[in-house]
Each structure stands twice: as structure tokens, then as C-alpha cells.
């Protein structure tokens, strides 16, 4: 029976009894709470710190996400997509991926796939704020600030012990952990992880380029790691430049002139010279998969379940697919008269999502390994393979459909 050392004591004041308690108010956690509430579950969202209100007067968040059609569809179902799209979101209809060593390239075109767009580039804090702002009207109880210090599984519910909240305990039939890659709740549940540290950092900034981005997402594979230039609504591009630790620190320390030049060379000057940039930041890159997505009356979502290489820009999309799967699984169980937190119900969600997420995560990892090849015969084989895929329309279409979540 998992719990932390700070277990619930029966004499303490109990909070409301709920169907679902979601811990973690990031994009995935807030989407989960909103989706479950709109599906008819009595839901609470517990978060240590409320997000700052988004404003169009604020600088563009350095953290951006490429929302795939599957994610856009879910956000639309939740009633928040229109307000996101009309605020500050950048559609893109093309993606161009090329190999610095061989010049081999793959170009994805939405029109060739029978779609208007491949996706949207949106600031993380805009998506999070729109979801957070919609929670109260949907009936979600926002318990914030709140820190979960432990939990205990009882016969028909989970009892959470809290610090810093207006109640010291919350009871729910199901506990959903969406509390990030370092998930304290995953540790409390005794769930381990597998994966590897890439010994790299993703350097991020927003840059102004000599030529317009033309609604295209660009990604170039270098021997040090991939460089992505993602189109922003204000005409700039957001970069995610994966570099070895030492090299990332060196790039962060460059003056603007040297940074502009090195980034221009790394991007093959595809958008011309770099003529302006924001401050730079960096985050560590690693592959991490939870060994299971479930425990008794407990499930994992989003980064708490999986962290993947950013080269495919799919991390948040995988998390939002977790949300849709969990909602659909719980609704089906409720409609069948089952306990929504019964082991067989949660196992169904966990098996489906862990299988899908594992295939994606290992696929991204394999791609990162393939593009790290430096031996001439392997590099030549890689270039040949890329050119073949670009010419094989059915294969390329399947790749595009999978990335879109279709």
C-alpha cells in the first residue's frame, strides 16, 4: 500500500471526497482535470503554484510547443483552442528536415497530406493559462497552493495528506500524477524509471532572421545534435539547439555577434543571417520511461510517465494523448457500471499508453543515435535511407500521420 513517511492520520480534518484528484497544474495536468470534469467526474487539481496570467503585452515565452492536430482536437473539445489560436499562435504547413553531413532531406507538406496545416507553434504558458482559467467554470476545485506530502490507499479511495492548502487532506477514488519528470508521487508509489541521460542540453532562444520563416518548421541534424527553428506568430523563429553539455555552456556564454554567426552557420543560413535574439536558456535532455503507468488507484500522465528527446517536438503531444486515453477509459468504465479506479480499468489505460509512448520514445532515441553516426559508410547509408523515405510517399505519409496523432 504505497504512501510516503507522512501518512494520513484518521483524526485529521478531511477534505471533500472526489472522483479524481489530479496533482500537477502544467499543460497536461490541467488538461486532464478539465477533460475529466467535462466528462462528469468530480475533480480537483492540486498545484504548488498558480501560473501567472498570460497577457499579449508579455514577452513571448521561451518555452514553446508544437501542437499536433490530435492535441488541437482535444483542446478544441475542452473549449480552449479558439482562445489560444486567436491569442498568439503560429500555424505551420511545411516541415523541412535535412542532414548536414549528406544533404539528404525530407520535406513534409500539409497540402500533400490533404490537410491545411501540420500544426501550431504556441507558447507553453499561453496553453497552460487558458486551461487553468477554464477549470473553475467546469467545476474543477483548484487547490492551490498545495503540496502532497503523502497518500494512503484505502478500500475505495485514496487519501492525500497536504501542506500549504486550505485543507490538510483530500479524498478521491483515483489519484492522477502529472507532477513532472521528477514526479514525487511516482517515487511515493514505488514506480521506477528506465532511460538514459543524453549528456546534452537544449539551448533555446527566439531569433530574428533576415528572411521570413514562411510558416515552415526547419530542423537540421548536425554531428553535435539537431537544431530546430520553429515559426512564431510575430515573425521570429524559436530555436531548440541540442548540444553536448560543454558546447551548450560555451554557446550560452557567447556574445551576441558570435552567437548570431555560429547559429547562422549551424542553420546553413537557411533563413539568412541572424539579426536579433532574446536572452538564451538551456535545459537538460534525457530519455525516461516509467516502468509502469499504474499502481493501486493511481496513474501517471505526461512527463511523470515519459520524457523524450525534443528532436521530434512530441513530448506534450504524447502527454495530451495520455489525457484523451485516460478520459475515454474512465468514461467507458463508468458507463459500464465499473469502479473507475479498478485495477483492470487502470491496466487498460496503462498498457495502451505505455505501449504507444515506448514505441515513440525509443523511435526518437533511435533517430538521435542514427544521426550521431560519424563513420563514413554509416553516414552514407543514412543519407540513402532519408532520400528513399522522401520519395516513398506512403511511408512519408504514415510518418506524418503518426506525428499528427491521426
Over residues 140-156, the pLDDT tens digits come to 999 999 999 999 999 89
H/E element, 106: strand 105-109
Q: Is 214 contained in some domain?
A: yes
CB 403 within 8 A of CB 312: yes
Q: Is 331 contained in some domain?
A: yes
CB 154 within 8 A of CB 276: no
Confidence at residue 130, expressed as pLDDT on a 0 to 100 scale:
98
- Asked if 203 and 280 sit in the same domain, the reply is yes
Number of domains observed in the structure of the chain:
2
Nearby residues of 372 by Cβ (< 8 Å), 6 or more positions away: 223, 225
> Is residue 395 over pLDDT 60?
no
Confidence at residue 372, expressed as pLDDT on a 0 to 100 scale:
67
List pLDDT tens digits, range 64-122: 999 999 999 999 999 999 999 999 999 999 999 888 878 888 888 888 878 889 999 99
Say how far apart CA 401 and CA 406 lie, in whole Å: 5
Q: Is 3 contained in some domain?
A: no
- Asked if 224 and 260 sit in the same domain, the reply is yes
- Asked if 260 and 187 sit in the same domain, the reply is no
* Average pLDDT score over the chain: 88
Q: How many CA atoms lie within 13 A of 181 on its CB side?
A: 16
The band of 376, judged by pLDDT with boundaries at 50, 70 and 90, is: confident
List pLDDT tens digits, range 157-184: 999 999 877 777 899 999 999 999 999 9
Q: Is 400 contained in some domain?
A: no
Q: Is 116 contained in some domain?
A: yes
For the record, the C-alpha cell of 56 comes out as 499579449
In three state form, how does the secondary structure of 32-81 look? HHHHHHHCCCCEEEECCCCCCCCCCCCCCCCCEEEECHHHHHHHHHCCCH
What's the average model confidence in pLDDT over 301-328?
A: 90
For the record, the C-alpha cell of 98 comes out as 535535412
Q: Is 28 contained in some domain?
A: yes
Confidence at residue 217, expressed as pLDDT on a 0 to 100 scale:
93
CB 95 within 8 A of CB 107: yes
CB 43 within 8 A of CB 19: yes
- Give the residue from 263, 285, 307 where a domain finishes: 285
- Give the residue from 270, 285, 300 where a domain finishes: 285
The whole domain housing 186 covers 17-56+128-194+289-369
**Residues written for the chain:** 406
> Is residue 6 over pLDDT 50?
no
- Asked if 138 and 255 sit in the same domain, the reply is no
List pLDDT tens digits, range 212-242: 999 999 999 898 989 999 999 999 999 999 9
- Asked if 170 and 306 sit in the same domain, the reply is yes
- Asked if 302 and 336 sit in the same domain, the reply is yes
What's the average model confidence in pLDDT over 274-285?
A: 96
- The residue with cell 487539481 is 45
What's the average model confidence in pLDDT over 334-363?
A: 93
- Asked if 141 and 275 sit in the same domain, the reply is no
- Reported pTM: 0.90
Nearby residues of 396 by Cβ (< 8 Å), 6 or more positions away: 106, 108, 389, 390
Amino acid at each position: 500500500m504505497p504512501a510516503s513517511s507522512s501518512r494520513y492520520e484518521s483524526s485529521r480534518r478531511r477534505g471533500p471526497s472526489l472522483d479524481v484528484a489530479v496533482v500537477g497544474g502544467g499543460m497536461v495536468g490541467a488538461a486532464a482535470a478539465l477533460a475529466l470534469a467535462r466528462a462528469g467526474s468530480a475533480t480537483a487539481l492540486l498545484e504548488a503554484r498558480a501560473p501567472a496570467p498570460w497577457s499579449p503585452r508579455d514577452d513571448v515565452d521561451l518555452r514553446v510547443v508544437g501542437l499536433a492536430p490530435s492535441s488541437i482536437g482535444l483542446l478544441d473539445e475542452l473549449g480552449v483552442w479558439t482562445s489560444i489560436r486567436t491569442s498568439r499562435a503560429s500555424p505551420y504547413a511545411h516541415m523541412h528536415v535535412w542532414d548536414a553531413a549528406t544533404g539528404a532531406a525530407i520535406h513534409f507538406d500539409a497540402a500533400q497530406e490533404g490537410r491545411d496545416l501540420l500544426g501550431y507553434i504556441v507558447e507553453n504558458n499561453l496553453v497552460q493559462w487558458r486551461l487553468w482559467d477554464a477549470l473553475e467554470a467546469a467545476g474543477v476545485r483548484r487547490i492551490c497552493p498545495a503540496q502532497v506530502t503523502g497518500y494512503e490507499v484505502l478500500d475505495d479511495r485514496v487519501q492525500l495528506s497536504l501542506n500549504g492548502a486550505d485543507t490538510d487532506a483530500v479524498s478521491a477514488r483515483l489519484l492522477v500524477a502529472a507532477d513532472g519528470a521528477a514526479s514525487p508521487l511516482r517515487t511515493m508509489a514505488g514506480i521506477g524509471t528506465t532511460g538514459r541521460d543524453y549528456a546534452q542540453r537544449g539551448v533555446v532562444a527566439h531569433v530574428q532572421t533576415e528572411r521570413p520563416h514562411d510558416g515552415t518548421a526547419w530542423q537540421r541534424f548536425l554531428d553535435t545534435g539537431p537544431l530546430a527553428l520553429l515559426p512564431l506568430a510575430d515573425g521570429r523563429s524559436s530555436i531548440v539547439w541540442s548540444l553536448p553539455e560543454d558546447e551548450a555552456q560555451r554557446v550560452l556564454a557567447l556574445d551576441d555577434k558570435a552567437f548570431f554567426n555560429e547559429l547562422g552557420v549551424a542553420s546553413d543560413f537557411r533563413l539568412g543571417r541572424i539579426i536579433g535574439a532574446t536572452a538564451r536558456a538551456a535545459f537538460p535532455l534525457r530519455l525516461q520511461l516509467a516502468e509502469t503507468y499504474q499502481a493501486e488507484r493511481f496513474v501517471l500522465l505526461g512527463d511523470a510517465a515519459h520524457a523524450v528527446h525534443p528532436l521530434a517536438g512530441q513530448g506534450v503531444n504524447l502527454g495530451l494523448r495520455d489525457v484523451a486515453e485516460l478520459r475515454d477509459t474512465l468514461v467507458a468504465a463508468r458507463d459500464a457500471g465499473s469502479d473507475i479506479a479498478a485495477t483492470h480499468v487502470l491496466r487498460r489505460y496503462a498498457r495502451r499508453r505505455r505501449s504507444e509512448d515506448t514505441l515513440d520514445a525509443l523511435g526518437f532515441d533511435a533517430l538521435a543515435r542514427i544521426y550521431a553516426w560519424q563513420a563514413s559508410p554509416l553516414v552514407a547509408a543514412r543519407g540513402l535511407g532519408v532520400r528513399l523515405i522522401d520519395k516513398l510517399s506512403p511511408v512519408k505519409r504514415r510518418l506524418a500521420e503518426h506525428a499528427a496523432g491521426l
